[in-house]
Amino acid sequence: MNDVVMTSSKSWNFTMLILGLLGLSATCAFGQLIITSSVGGETSSPHSKETDSFTFKIYWGLASKCSNLGIDLELQKWGISANKDTSVEMGDVFNGFHSHNFGYPYIDDDTRKFINGGLPQARNLRKHLEIATVEIIEKIPNSQFNGLAIIDWEKWKPHLDENFDKRTIYKNASVDLVKQRIPNLDDTSVNELAKVEYEMAAESLMKGVLRLGKTLRPNATWGFYHYPYCHNKEPSTDYECLNATVASNDKMTWLFDESSAIFPSIYLHPYVKNNLQFVDSKLQEALRVVNNLQEPGKPVYVYNRFNYSNSGLYYNIGDIEMSVGKAAILSFDGIVLWGSMKALENMQSCTELKQLLATVYGPVLLNTKTQAESCSNKMCSGHGRCLLDDARFVSDALWDWRSLDFVKCRCMTGWTGNNCSKKL
């Protein structure tokens, strides 16, 4: 589907300038601005080029008060890359953008107030790109920044049918918007038009901000947090991803192809009965998605935590070893560490986390990084990631890839062959 969104034609010169940067063109018809793609295929990214040997990267993405309290978590000791100032989420290594950035349209969960138009199709594209341009330049002042730039937009999903439960309000509001404009239209046509308008606009907003980011900060790794989704909270299905969500992921290649990397989430919850199945389903879906892309060698960084979601409890040893090890065994490129900001606001919580890192989490991370890179060098010519048969994988902080069966390689972009030794 081409990029198409309709908005007012104010500030035509600015809009045309930004669209030109994004490889888009525009025409004005019947008082509406119609945006279309003027280039074919995916746009370039720092990972579309041939890169050096594989490195399993571990990023710290969470702002905490520990450093301000005089507690050094010693992140670098465990192979973790972090901003120089870990008290903020914006820095020289990691930058996160959320619902308050880029003029993101959403409906407030509590007040039901429509923010920035509330719906993607009600958002003014010119204003959206204008705000995003200013914020990217302001938040990432270094034009050569080569770290992560992650967009976390979770209020709505780009496919209307995926907006269920508390997100149902976006479906209802989209239908109401059509009814207000065309009151005599039959219900079937209203629903179809609402879906088309919503999804075309959502795609344009998400692709637009990615293309803008890659244009302004081309060395950064851009992507959306949590995609691809899985929705596998039902134990009766062995925590398999919902069929509807898998189908939605198949129709979302435009997002994955446009992203510099993919960032699935495997956050664990206290109520999950089988965390191994829960994590495996999410990661297998991410692997399936990336293997079907135009660039199957695209990097994948897995969002993980140190404490269970909506809980003050830290991961137990088994869940730390399993969640970290799984990411490496399934040929992914690294981990982004996250957690509850409230859990790191005082001396006690920071001291406890430092102890967790020093005794369990840190050694697991460092060993996983060492094993993933060693396997890549020995089995995949240093230009691929090892995809291991984990049937014999033992939850062990000091697991060794050589003890596992059947090593395959997922080659990095620019390399091919069974052991990734041939240049494309």
pLDDT by 10-residue block (mean), the chain, 424 residues: 38 52 45 40 42 90 92 96 94 96 96 96 91 97 97 97 95 97 96 98 96 98 98 86 96 97 95 91 97 96 93 90 93 93 83 94 95 95 90 62 84 96 94
Q: Please tell me the distance from the alpha carbon of residue 189 to that of residue 177, in angstroms, as a whole number.
A: 13
Q: Are residues 280 and 332 in contact, defined by beta-carbon separation less than 8 angstroms?
A: no
The full length of the chain comes to 424
Q: Are residues 390 and 326 in contact, defined by beta-carbon separation less than 8 angstroms?
A: yes
CA distances from residue 183 to 66, 88, 177, 194 in whole angstroms, order as listed: 57, 49, 10, 13
Q: Encoding tokens for residue 19? A: 């669209």
* 295, burial (CB in 10 Å: exposed 0-12, middle 13-18, buried 19+): middle
Non-local (6+) Cβ contacts of 399 within 8 A are: 321, 325, 367, 368, 371, 393
At residue 408, φ and ψ (nearest 5 deg) are -110, 165
Catalytic residue among 50, 74, 154, 192: 154
The pLDDT, as a whole number, for residue 34 is 40
DSSP letter at 2? -
The pLDDT, as a whole number, for residue 396 is 62
The pLDDT, as a whole number, for residue 410 is 96
Please confirm, yes or no, whether 74 is among the known catalytic residues.
Answer: no
* 89, burial (CB in 10 Å: exposed 0-12, middle 13-18, buried 19+): buried
- How much of the chain is helix, strand and coil, in % rounded to 5? 40, 15, 40
At residue 381, φ and ψ (nearest 5 deg) are 60, 20
CA distances from residue 364 to 102, 108, 179, 377, 400 in whole angstroms, order as listed: 37, 39, 56, 20, 12
Model's pTM, two decimal places? 0.88
Conformation bin of residue 41: beta by default, left when phi > 0, alpha when psi is -120 to 50: left
Q: Please tell me the distance from the alpha carbon of residue 231 to that of residue 4, in angstroms, as a whole number.
A: 28
Non-local (6+) Cβ contacts of 304 within 8 A are: 266, 267, 323, 324, 327, 335, 336, 337, 338
The pLDDT, as a whole number, for residue 167 is 96
